[in-house]
Chains A and B, each alone.
Chain A
Amino acid sequence: MLPRLVKRKEPSQAMVYLTPVIALVLTLISGVLMFIMLGVPVGEALYAFFIEPLTTEYGLAELGVKATPLVLIGVALSLGFKANVWNIGAEGQLTFGAIAGGGVALLLYDVDSAIVLPLMIIAGIAGGMFWGAIPALLRTRFNSSEILTSLMLTYVATLFLSYLVHGPWRDPDGFNFPESRLFSDAATLPIIWEDTRLHVGAAMAVLVSVVAWVFLTRTLFGFQLKVIGSAPAAGRYTGFSEKRTIWLSLLIGGAAAGLAGTIEVSGPIGQLLPNISPGYGFTAIIVAFLGRLHPIGVLFAGLLMALSYLGGETAQITLNLPLAVTGVFQGMLLFFLLATDVLIIYRLQWPDSKGTRT
């Protein structure tokens, strides 16, 4: 017999924290089934995906490196999602931020000064904000769906980056490869864990989560953001217009994504390439939901999703599995999370043997 959904008297707080765990377990079970169907040894695959990356110093550091952009963007997106502003073009804002920040690095290539990095970061944030401002303007002035415009702008930003590294910004000594010069030392993020790639950006991501947490729980704006998302009419009474929410959500999202993009190119990558992100901007959407739109939750969710990237790479090397498995895992996790979230408002009622409802 199938269970029925019965509405709870009030939303279950316990389920808010439980459903990510349930979703994770369901994803793992489906993953096992998937590995069986692919004819991959299950034990080895799971080990390669979820354990092996965590057994080495290198792996742990890489986890931090990959979690950094996910956490930064995830935190910012959750602010917008709380207010029902769907910025799904963070990938484009990340790319444009990387173009702006990387542009400064190339411009100041010969300048060896401590000012270079701060300038890059400011430029990156501004670039991301600019790319986020376009859908905000189109939404508030022309009523155009920010979902579609921000997504279309992602393609535009990626093509623009491709143009730059194929054309004007191509490394003059790079044998015609589509890549910029390697950034100078002054334009490279300091490493905080010796002999690994873990850079100071990871610390920034943690800091941003904590700041966002304080901001959300201790300020009036945080409260307004929550109200306007759950009840727009009531939100207006708290003195906050929908327009301002849209602007703020997209600008904050753009700023964080732009920062993440600059961190990527000045940290682990060290130059501009046609492809600077394996979809961090999209995965950050999953991170935001998995982290319950809560800055600290996002921190943990970011680490978990970083593991899915890292595990994908490990499984590719050790088991010759395609990298696409990562996307499958990520998509399944979001499916299961959204599906089990029904348990926050509803509970399952199993019909008993007599067919009466308890």
Chain B
Amino acid sequence: MSTEVLVLTLLTIITAATPLLFAALGELITEKSGVLNLGVEGMILVGAVGSFGMVQYSGSAFLAIIVGMICSMLLALIFAFITLTLQATQVATGLALTIFGIGISALLGQDLVGVAYDGLPKVVIPMLSEIPIMGDLLFKHDALVYLSFAMVSAVSWFLYKSRAGLILRAVGDSHDAAHAIGYPVIRIRYMATLFGGAMSGIAGAYLSLAYSPMWVEGMSAGRGWIALALVVFATWRPMRALFGAYLFGGITILQLHGQAIGLSIPSQFMSMLPYVATIVVLVVISKDRNRIKLNAPACIGKPFRPTA
């Protein structure tokens, strides 16, 4: 393979990994606070349709991303209200969020089908982008790709170096103890859930503005669920989520390039790859029960009702 082809392949891997990374980082924070939101798929779709609609309306990619975030945060807010304030089962509510998100995004996007967009502008970093190969690979991306890397560091720093992150983890590991010390468990979980929504919104915006700049019903194609699996794969650690997202980005791209390099496997089997890989990865990670126990937030999915 020539270096040119290699660079192109790596670039497509980056575009495939970026939405997964955003969604996984958001869900990671949500889960660290003890909330399991299975509605990622629905939130991504609503973010995708919201930002695509906005970019058509205003022409501003920046505004579009903001609107995408807000749309997904609204969905996250519904989820938070039902599970945190009204204390319904998180699993069922998350499913409802996905069903609702798929429906409402298709409804809102019906006039956007078939409309074209040029894609997010590339932010070419002066000087650095002129380095042979590395310049093309690392310094000629759209803003969201850079942001995704920044978010990995930010989330890492927040979780393990900041006081707020410590509180968040405490809430996720023992809500009763955190409540006894005086931390507002419900409010912290609301914020973590909303952050998850915002990140899913960016993931959606990336899909409809950059990955394939258009709106198609159900265009996330299970990425929300893969992001959920990535959080387990990463054992709730941001750096490993980065690795996981790129691994899955690679697998997604393998699927696209399989036929180009002349593999005679039917396309449907290639398309199964990300889903099968998700199952395999889940099995490999989860079979070590101790590792999961050590890293998983102890209160994940459990409702909290302050006793006093």
Contact = CB atoms under 8 A, between A and B. Distances in A.
Interface of A: 5, 38, 86, 88, 138, 141-145, 147-149, 151-153, 155-156, 159-160, 162-163, 166-167, 282-283, 285-286, 289, 322-332, 334-335, 338-339, 341-342
Question: Which 6 A-B pairs rank lowest in CB-CB distance, beginning with the nearest?
Answer: A327-B103, A331-B100, A324-B106, A163-B268, A334-B96, A338-B88
Contacts of B286: 142-145
A331 B104 contact: yes
Contacts of B105: 324
Contact of A331 (B86, B97, B272): B97
A351 to B, nearest CB: 17
Contacts of A335: 78, 82, 93, 96-97, 100
Interface stretch (B52-60, B140-148, B175-183, B221-229): B221-229
A286 B268 CA distance: 30
Interface of B: 38, 42, 78, 81-82, 86-89, 91-93, 95-97, 99-107, 110, 217, 222, 225, 228-229, 232, 266, 268-269, 271-272, 275-276, 278-279, 282-283, 286-287, 289, 292
22 contacts: A86-B91, A88-B95, A138-B282, A143-B289, A143-B292, A144-B287, A145-B286, A147-B38, A147-B91, A148-B225, A153-B279, A159-B272, A285-B92, A324-B105, A324-B110, A327-B99, A327-B100, A328-B100, A328-B107, A331-B102, A334-B92, A342-B87
Contacts of B87: 342
B222 A325 contact: no
Nearest to B101: A331
B266 A167 contact: yes
A231 to B, nearest CB: 15
Q: Mostly helix, strand, loop or mixed at chain A's interface?
A: helix
A83 to B, nearest CB: 13
A332 B100 CA distance: 7
Nearest to A342: B86
Contacts of A138: 279, 282-283
Given A163-B268, A334-B92, 15 more contacts: A38-B107, A138-B279, A138-B283, A148-B228, A152-B275, A152-B276, A163-B269, A282-B99, A324-B105, A327-B103, A331-B102, A334-B95, A338-B89, A338-B92, A338-B93
Contact of B283 (A142, A163, A328, A332): A142
A141 B48 CA distance: 38
